[in-house]
Amino acid sequence: MTGIMKKYGIVILSSLLSAVLAVFLYRLFDAPREVVIREALPSQHTGWTDDPLLGAKQRTFLSSAPTNFTAAATAVTPGVVNIRAAQSSRFDFWGSEESYGSSSGSGVIISSDGLIVTNHHVIENANEIQVTLNDKREFKAEIVGIDPSTDLALLKIKGSKLPYLEFGNSDSLRVGEWVLAVGNPFELQSTVTAGIVSARGRSIDILETQDRIESFIQTDAAVNPGNSGGALVNTNGELVGINTAIITRSGRYEGYSFAVPGNLVRKVIKDLRDHGVVQRGILGVFIDDLTEERARQLGLPAIEGVYITRITPDGAADKAGLRENDVVLSINGIKTKTLPEMQEQLGSYRPGNTLAIEYMRDGKKHKASAVLQGKTGDVLAASSKDDGFLRELGFELRDLSREEQKRLNVKGVHVVSIFRGSKVERTNMDPGFVITRLNSEAVTSVENLTQKLKNAKGKVLLEGVYEDYAGEYYYAFSME
């Protein structure tokens, strides 16, 4: 019996030693693994500096395994605020009373001195804006600038050493990656929901301006009323988007939420901060999505790219050698598989920036270098102060070209776009209107009209024509 016990004891001891040795060797040679989501892509318009609006952090982003959201949630919630916008009752130019209203949403602090980004529709037509921080402190906010084309707005509160979010690189996001949606609705303090990136480059046709840019990040993170303007962050706590909209049939969240990409947000907000207006670079092309039939006709190996339907004479693309029926494959090394993706890339640059464009023509790949122009055809940024003044009134303007002056037989200023809720919009003026006179005085240029408007007091009357409609048209509003 003693021999048998001894024999089994040796077997058991040997088994235990083998197990311990196996665990030791496993830990020695097979260390815990980290899942690499994506290494950040280099981009000409991103490069980290001390200015939080000049660039995103370019680094490999490591997701934890298993994913843990607590560190990111703790880091970002203090920087997400509640915004209440009030519109007071008043009489318009024609004596009709405009009713009182209010709206509520979220915002994201992006600098320690109180810069806040939110959606334009959250503060649209606001006479007074109240911001409540996560720690319940309250501030009055001023509007620094708005950009209806991307549904973004920049606010400023008087504060110092405020908690703020740092920008990440939204170009590095991949479908299936975990993200957090952080909002501050109805003064409930910050709320956090989690989901994955469902798609990129989504256009859902919700913006109304002529030069709208819709290239949303789609997620299934729950976003409800009051969360508009809140933060979309990665699990490292970096800002990669501004939550903007949901698609729903019930009026409640149903699994489809959309955010403006962080790289586009950063460019727009920096322009608003520095100039009061977005300096948008123009390539000078009319574009459309590539269809299967077009891809087959052009001899393309895949249905990826953006089809050029028309080229603006003497525009940036024309000077770079691009032609109708070319298919744009990438801009500065970033693929442009769809029209929204190309719009997003172009929206990240300004007049004077040089783009390296890869495109297909006659079944072969080509490269071109294009210098973006402004709306008036130059490569320099527009006069920001005057543009800011004109935007407050509600329109964007440009001088008439010589060809237009000859064709219309008038001198004047062309109305490029009109902003919702503005004085100009309430006159029912349409884009394309050519302003020829202000209060019976001839208008010769944007600079000339701007100066006349700045000197005007009380009611002003704009006279002009539309190219496709006979007769003269008149629009009036008050400068007070």
Per DSSP, the residues of 13-45 read HHHHHHHHHHHHHHHHHSPPP-EEEEEPPP-TT
Question: Could you state, in chain order, the average pLDDT of each consecutive group of 10 residues for the chain (480 residues)?
Answer: 56 61 52 31 37 56 61 90 77 50 84 92 86 90 86 89 90 86 76 85 52 72 79 90 71 70 86 77 84 84 87 88 91 85 80 87 89 64 56 82 80 82 86 90 89 89 88 89
> Which residues have a Cβ under 8 Å from the Cβ of 139 and sit 6 or more positions away?
114, 130, 131, 132, 133, 157, 158, 159
Catalytic residue among 121, 190, 275, 330: 121
CB 249: neighbour CB atoms within 10 A?
6
Look up 120 and say whether it is catalytic. no
Supply the pLDDT for residue 384: 43
Supply the pLDDT for residue 37: 24
Tell whether pTM > 0.85: no
State the Cα–Cα distance between residues 14 and 122, nearest whole angstrom: 71
> Which residues have a Cβ under 8 Å from the Cβ of 195 and sit 6 or more positions away?
178, 179, 181, 219, 220, 221, 222, 257
**Which amino acid, residue 42?**
P
Residue keyed to tokens 């509600």 = 394
For strands 35-39 and 178-183, give the pairing: unpaired
Supply the pLDDT for residue 105: 86
State the Cα–Cα distance between residues 200 and 335, nearest whole angstrom: 12
**Which amino acid, residue 183?**
G
Question: What tens digit of pLDDT does each residue of 144-185 get?
Answer: 888 887 888 999 999 889 999 999 888 888 888 898 888 887
Catalytic residue among 147, 151, 171, 326: 151
Catalytic residue among 111, 215, 228, 330: 228
State the Cα–Cα distance between residues 184 and 162, nearest whole angstrom: 16
State the Cα–Cα distance between residues 46 and 398, nearest whole angstrom: 30
State the Cα–Cα distance between residues 181 and 230, nearest whole angstrom: 7
Residue 476 phi, psi dihedral angles, 5° rounding: -125, 145
Look up 228 and say whether it is catalytic. yes
Look up 401 and say whether it is catalytic. no
3-state secondary structure at position 349: coil
Supply the pLDDT for residue 30: 46
Supply the pLDDT for residue 3: 56
Domains and CATH numbers, the chain: 32-275 (2.40.10.120), 285-371 (2.30.42.10), 384-478 (2.30.42.10)
CB 200: neighbour CB atoms within 10 A?
20
Asked if 434 and 465 count as a contact pair (C-beta separation under 8 A), the reply is: yes
